[in-house]
Chains A and B, each alone.
Chain A
Amino acid sequence: MLDTCDFKTQYVLHLADDALVLGQRLSGWCGHGPILEQDIAISNISLDLIGLARQYYQYAAELIGGDTTEDSLAYFRESREFYNHLIVEQPNGDWGDTMSRQFYFDTFHFFQLQHLTRSEDLRLREIATKALKETTYHAQFSAEWIIRLGDGTKESRKRVQKSITHHFPYALEFFETTEFDKQAHDLNLGPDVRELKDKWIEKVREVLNIATLDDINSDAVAKKGGKRGIHSEEHGLILAEMQSVARSYPDAKW
């Protein structure tokens, strides 16, 4: 699909895929949260992300035209046609893994949306203006958890440190520029992702420091590929579960 869509559509799909895949991942916590409040919180964040994905997919479907709908984009594309960052497809693991993944993503998402509220494209501006406020709550929630786990017990610190270190190279993919990023930036649709890096690093460092966790590894190399449709094995498993009903009953209506 990358070959057949214009850059703007690819960019919108990339934004949508991040929200959908992470929303789907987080939904796996529903009924399994460590305590009721966290179960509810993570399910709410999942809902916000899936709602956001719908807004982007509806827009992408309009840009593509024809028979394309938000559902066909979510349920009938193959793994290679998804442009989400690798970090969002990483497994939920334990609560520390989920919160590390979430903390890196939310902090990036906040700065990305902040920029999108000034997009040349009215629709992206509208979607981002709404999502930014919700994301502020997500970012606060995940940062608080990093602090609580890092500055918590010996065991919680050890485990969250491992998760934070493990996810860091994946997070660096946020700042890798693809052709659609470049085009989107040239058309003033979205940010130059490289320029978001300093702000992101500063915020991440601030939280890690409060959490008494180790500083980031400045020698880390980005794990990348997701934005070009090259995913981990995990991605196929996520899609298999998420798309199975729609693919078994392709014309089913609610």
Chain B
Amino acid sequence: MAEVSEDSIMNTLSGVMDPEVPVLSVIDLGVIRDVRINQSHVEVDIAPTYTGCPAMDVISSSVEEAIIKLGVSKVEVNTVLTPPWTTDWISEDGKRKLLDYGIAPPKNEGNQKRELFQSAPEIACPRCKSNDTSCVSLFGSTACKSLYRCNACLEPFDYFKCL
């Protein structure tokens, strides 16, 4: 097995993108929980985002593939549920990239997020920055997004909903 360091692995992983939000790397997304380098193989712990997110299997195999390219003979990707992934794990850098990409980043609603029947949060339009927006549907193009509409510039946009 080739010599690898944790830094080189993390560096490689910062180039592994979420297939559904291709501007976010797995590092930005905050799903990489631990990397352990053993004599014969590398182990990576990943926290799933949404329970039913179909991208998770793709993310696991992309992580494995990227590390194997470094010359590692065997990679083991484990799923860890604790601590659970929440949108708070997305890095500040990641939130900025989301906004630049046209997706409003998650807005922390504190404890409210576990209440039944809360009202939709007020979200600024990522294009024109107006606060005059409305939620069209809680469920958007992927499990992690809601669909909003800006009443000022009239454009629809995605909001990465808080989890």
Please, which residues of chain A bring their CB within 8 A of the CB of B118? Answer: 136, 140
B27 within 8 A of A: no
Contact B114 A132 (CB under 8 A): yes
B147 within 8 A of A: yes
Range for the number of chain B residues in contact with chain A: 20 to 34
- The CA-CA distance from A45 to B53 in the complex, in Å, is 11
Contact A140 B116 (CB under 8 A): yes
A sample of 21 cross-chain residue pairs with beta-carbon separation below 8 angstroms, ordered by A number, consists of A23-B52, A37-B136, A40-B137, A44-B142, A45-B139, A47-B53, A48-B51, A50-B52, A52-B52, A54-B51, A107-B116, A122-B82, A130-B48, A130-B51, A130-B81, A136-B115, A140-B116, A140-B117, A140-B118, A143-B116, A143-B117
Across the interface, B51 reaches (CB within 8 A) one of A52, A122, A143, A207, namely A52
- The CA-CA distance from A55 to B161 in the complex, in Å, is 22
Please, which residues of chain B bring their CB within 8 A of the CB of A130? Answer: 48, 51, 81, 84-85
Contact A136 B114 (CB under 8 A): yes
Please, which residues of chain B bring their CB within 8 A of the CB of A51? Answer: 50-53
Please, which residues of chain A bring their CB within 8 A of the CB of B117? Answer: 139-140, 143, 207
Residues A48 and B143 in contact in the complex (CB < 8 Å), given A127-B81, A130-B84, A131-B51: yes
Residue of B nearest to A126 (CB): B81
B138 within 8 A of A: yes
A110 within 8 A of B: yes
- The CA-CA distance from A139 to B116 in the complex, in Å, is 7
B36 within 8 A of A: no
Contact A136 B116 (CB under 8 A): yes
List residues of chain B with CB under 8 Å of any chain A CB: 48, 50-54, 81-82, 84-86, 113-118, 136-143, 147, 161, 163
Please, which residues of chain A bring their CB within 8 A of the CB of B137? Answer: 37-38, 40-41
Contact A126 B147 (CB under 8 A): no
Across the interface, A48 reaches (CB within 8 A) one of B50, B86, B147, namely B50
Interface residue tally for chain A (C-beta within 8 Å): 37
- The CA-CA distance from A90 to B116 in the complex, in Å, is 25
Contact B52 A49 (CB under 8 A): yes
A129 within 8 A of B: yes
Residues A133 and B163 in contact in the complex (CB < 8 Å), given A40-B139, A44-B143: yes
Across the interface, A133 reaches (CB within 8 A) one of B114, B140, B141, B147, namely B114
Across the interface, A47 reaches (CB within 8 A) one of B48, B52, B116, B141, namely B52
Indicate the member of A44, A54, A203 with the most B CB atoms within 10 Å. A44
Sorted nearest first, the 6 A-B pairs with minimum C-beta distance are A51-B52, A41-B139, A51-B51, A126-B81, A47-B52, A37-B137
State how many angstroms separate the Cβ of A118 from the closest Cβ of chain B.
13
Across the interface, B139 reaches (CB within 8 A) one of A52, A107, A141, A203, namely A141
A134 within 8 A of B: yes
Across the interface, B141 reaches (CB within 8 A) one of A40, A131, A136, namely A40
